[in-house]
Amino acid sequence: MAKTIVQEFTKGLWDEIPPFRLVLGLCPVLAVTKTLGNGVGMGVAATFVLLCSNILVSALRSVIPGKVRVPCFIIIIATFVVVVELVMQAVAYPLFLQLGIFIPLIVVNCIILGRAEAFAFKNGVAAAAADGLGIGAGFTISLAALGALREILGSGTLSIPFSDSVIQMFGPDFQPFSFMIEAPGAFVCLGLMLGVMNLAGK
Amino acid sequence: MGDYVLLAISAILVNNILLIQYLGNCPFLGTSKKMDTAVGMAMAVVFVLAMAGIVTWVLEVVFLKPLGLEYMRTIVFILVIAALVQFVEIFLKKSMPALYAGLGIFLPLITTNCAVMGVCLINIKEEYNFVEMLVSSIAYPAGFGLALILFAGLRERIIIGRVPKPMEDTAIALVTAGFMSLAFIGFNGMI
Amino acid sequence: MRDIIRMIVVLAVLAACSGGLLAAVKSGTAAKIEVQQLTFVKGPAIQEILKGCTNNPIEDRFKLKVGDEEKTFFVGKFDNTPPAVVYETFGKGFAGDVGIMVGVNIETDKLIGIGITTHSETPGLGARAKTDRGFKESFQGLSIKDAIKVNKDGGNVDSISGATVTSRGVCTGITGSSDMYQELKPKIMENVKAFGS
């Protein structure tokens, strides 16, 4: 039975939320979640690419020959990644500097290629758009949650996405738990969150 | 010469691509359940990255930079890597079937391995010269292989142990990777 | 055969569309990206040199041809003192090039200040060139027409302790831009006037 558009959207928020349920696209999840602001910035950038590539792949699915579909997907995805790169430089340069090479690396994010191959190439435009938006939103929520957790514990602050303001969470006596900001904190934190998700999912 | 040794040590240990730079984590978790697959993946990455590093660096220096097309870097690099992986696959299948049997199934996965693309981008961003680029393109995947194989060894042990149900598989693997990463941070003082 | 032709056509059309779209986005964002880069990468050094200026130097900028390259000049206007221009030049540091922002009073040709933009010097030693106030302030009032030297070489610049190579590199970098500045002086005056000062 065909799922409705709403179901295609909401599945990305819990049932198939990346990177917890779909263990894909881990690198940016680990790398850019030092702060809430960076996490959300990356989430929005990836969602834009995912939405655009899903729509285009779905619209062109009868034109693209099966044998060269992967190179076609890559061209489509890479084009939107470069668009994001340029637009981010023009409107949010400090964020662009923070995210560094992880912006061009959206192109090899397996979530995006995975959705193109597994979903968009087989479904209609509306369903593909809903899927892209849902998975993208789920990805952004995960990045935001991990970013907020690491930032609060690791530096005692919370940066507001898309602005320069930073909230101090604790008094001046707070000793930042800098393990959380470093690489090991990212792995451990993500692992524990995944454990909690598994516990809640049952 | 000393600089190159330093660069190599830094790339393998201090800035380990998997555990410190967070690149290439999907295959890190995906292929580390068994030692055999980990070794296969590590070899395939070293093989492809050494070539991809050279090709992308030459393209950047000879074409993109002089023509002012740096903004096309992302799209050019990913297409080059995808084409290179295909080419390597065909070449190995025809001329070295034994090696192909070992690496074959890992090759298509490498296109979306961000370690490959990541190192190519690092080579450009750090403005390495040709020799530095060669050292980095070999040392980074060597670090990838080292971390992957060590991690596979740990995971084979973990499977035998009793892990709480919700933490099974990926969750415990991530926590383990975190502690390995902590160990690698210890190399920080070396340079 | 028809399949292969179709594949090639689809790939070629896709690549062409992608190239076209990107070229359009690139040209649409180029001006904004330049301003952003200037604001966040070179901006801090420029603002520091032109402290107290009454205009926005990032917006009041002009380009002049130097050989094959274009050099950007930023204009700073002041209430009581004559205007100044700021431009970037490069000197050889301990580990590669050091980017130096040079601010010159265009009436007296004297330096009003300098700042470091990009460098890869050793942290704690050469890297202090970017933050060391005494070092940067010792350039103030020197004439761009003279050779600028550190005090060890008989000049007036207080070199950073433990980083003579970097200090010298900054001095020779500024001295090296002297000819260019003097040659372009008439054009610089013209352009600064155009900004209404």
A141-183: pLDDT as tens digits? 999 999 999 999 888 888 888 777 788 878 777 788 888 888 8
Confidence at B67, pLDDT banded by 50, 70, 90: confident
The span from the CA of A146 to the CA of A188, in Å, is 11
Name the domain count of chain C: 1
Q: Residue A38 in contact with residue A147, Cβ under 8 Å? A: yes
The mean pLDDT of C92-106, rounded to a whole number, is 84
Return the amino acid letter for B173.
A
B102-136: pLDDT as tens digits? 776 677 778 778 889 999 999 998 888 899 999 99
Question: What DSSP letter does each residue of chain B carry, written as one string?
Answer: -HHHHHHHHIIIIIT-TTTTS--SHHHHHHS-SSHHHHHHHHHHHHHHHHHHHHHHHHHIIIIITTTT-GGGHHHHHHHHHHHHHHHHHHHHHHH-HHHHHHHGGGHHHHTT-HHHHHHHHHHHHTT--HHHHHHHHHHHHHHHHHHHHHHHHHHHHHHHS---GGGTTHHHHHHHHHHHHHHHHGGGGG-
Instruction: Kindly tell me the sign of the dihedral angle through the C-alpha atoms of C81, C82, C88, C90.
Output: negative
The span from the CA of C71 to the CA of C83, in Å, is 19
Q: Which positions ≥6 away from A38 have C-beta within 8 Å?
A: A32, A95, A98, A99, A147, A159
pLDDT for res C51 = 81
C-beta atoms of A185 and B29 within 8 A? no
A8-51: pLDDT as tens digits? 888 878 777 787 776 777 888 888 888 899 999 999 999 999 99
The span from the CA of A156 to the CA of A170, in Å, is 6
Which of A71, A110, A195 is the closest to B166 by Cβ? Answer: A195
Residues 2-21 of C with CB under 8 A from A: 3, 6-7, 10-11, 14-15, 18, 21
Which residue range is the domain that position C94 belongs to?
47-194
Q: Are strands A157-159 and A166-168 parallel, antiparallel or unpaired?
A: antiparallel
pLDDT at A1 over 60: no
Q: Tokens 């292929």 identify what position?
A: B31
Q: Residue B28 in contact with residue B151, Cβ under 8 Å? A: yes
Question: For A64-78, B167-181, C92-106, which range has the lowest pLDDT when averaged over its residues?
Answer: C92-106
Q: CB of C7 within 8 Å of any CB in chain B?
A: no
Instruction: Let me know if residue C13 belongs to a domain.
Output: no
The mean pLDDT of C95-106, rounded to a whole number, is 85
pLDDT at C126 over 70: yes
Q: CB of A31 within 8 Å of any CB in chain B?
A: yes
Q: CB of C24 within 8 Å of any CB in chain A?
A: no
When comparing pLDDT for A70 and C195, which is higher? A70
**Residue C125: DSSP 8-state:** T
Across chain A, what does the average pLDDT equal? 87
Across chain B, what does the average pLDDT equal? 87
- What SS3 class is residue C38? helix
Residue A5, Cβ neighbours under 10 Å: how many? 15
Q: Which residues of A touch C6 (CB under 8 A)?
A: 65
Question: Which pair of tokens denotes residue A167?
Answer: 């909230």
Q: Residue A76 in contact with residue C14, Cβ under 8 Å? A: yes
C-beta atoms of B71 and C18 within 8 A? no
Q: Is A6 exposed, middle or buried (0-12, 13-18, 19+ CB in 10 A)?
A: exposed
What pTM does this model have?
0.82
Q: Which positions ≥6 away from C64 have C-beta within 8 Å?
A: C70, C71, C73, C184, C187, C188, C191
Instruction: Let me know if residue C64 belongs to a domain.
Output: yes
C-beta atoms of B71 and C22 within 8 A? yes
CA–CA distances in Å: residue C40 to residues A91, A164, A175, B43: 12, 13, 30, 42
C171 to chain B, closest Cα gap in Å: 25
Q: Which residues of B touch C19 (CB under 8 A)?
A: 72
The mean pLDDT of B161-184, rounded to a whole number, is 88
pLDDT for res A143 = 93
Q: Residue C119 in contact with residue C129, Cβ under 8 Å? A: yes
Which of C11, C21, C29 is the closest to A87 by Cβ? Answer: C29
C-beta atoms of B117 and A104 within 8 A? yes
pLDDT for res C114 = 87
Q: Is A1 exposed, middle or buried (0-12, 13-18, 19+ CB in 10 A)?
A: exposed
Domain-by-domain residue ranges, chain A?
5-201
Give the distance from CA B168 to its chain's centroid.
26
pLDDT for res A137 = 93
For C30, the closest chain B residue by CA position comes to B71
pLDDT at B95 over 90: no
The span from the CA of B75 to the CA of A29, in Å, is 22
C-beta atoms of C10 and A86 within 8 A? no
Instruction: Let me know if residue C111 belongs to a domain.
Output: yes
pLDDT at C91 over 90: no
C-beta atoms of A82 and C25 within 8 A? yes
Q: CB of C187 within 8 Å of any CB in chain A?
A: no
Return the amino acid letter for B86.
Q
pLDDT at C162 over 80: no
pLDDT for res A2 = 56
Q: Which of C88, C153, C155, C95 is nearest to C119 (CA)?
A: C95
Which of A24, A110, A192 is the closest to B175 by Cβ? Answer: A192
Q: Which positions ≥6 away from B47 have C-beta within 8 Å?
A: B88, B103
Return the amino acid letter for A79.
T
C26 to chain B, closest Cα gap in Å: 8
pLDDT for res C163 = 82
C97 phi and psi angles, rounded to 5 deg: -75, 145
Q: What is the Cβ-side half-sphere exposure of residue B54, based on CA atoms within 13 angstroms?
A: 10
Report the percent of chain A where pLDDT is more than 70: 97
The span from the CA of A198 to the CA of B30, in Å, is 19
The span from the CA of A153 to the CA of A177, in Å, is 6
For B125, the closest chain A residue by CA position comes to A101
The span from the CA of C75 to the CA of C190, in Å, is 12
Return the amino acid letter for A88.
M
**Residue C150: DSSP 8-state:** B
Best mutation site among A74, A81, A88, A89 for testing chain C: the one with the most C CBs within 10 Å? A89
Q: Tokens 């992608």 identify what position?
A: C18
H or E, element range at A187: helix A183-201
Q: What is the dihedral of CA C24, C27, C32, C33, to 10 degrees?
A: 100
Q: Which of C89, C158, C166, C164 is nearest to C127 (CA)?
A: C166
The span from the CA of C97 to the CA of C88, in Å, is 12
Instruction: Kindly tell me the sign of the dihedral angle through the C-alpha atoms of B27, B122, A87, A36.
Output: positive
Q: Are strands A166-168 and C61-66 parallel, antiparallel or unpaired?
A: unpaired
- What SS3 class is residue A180? helix
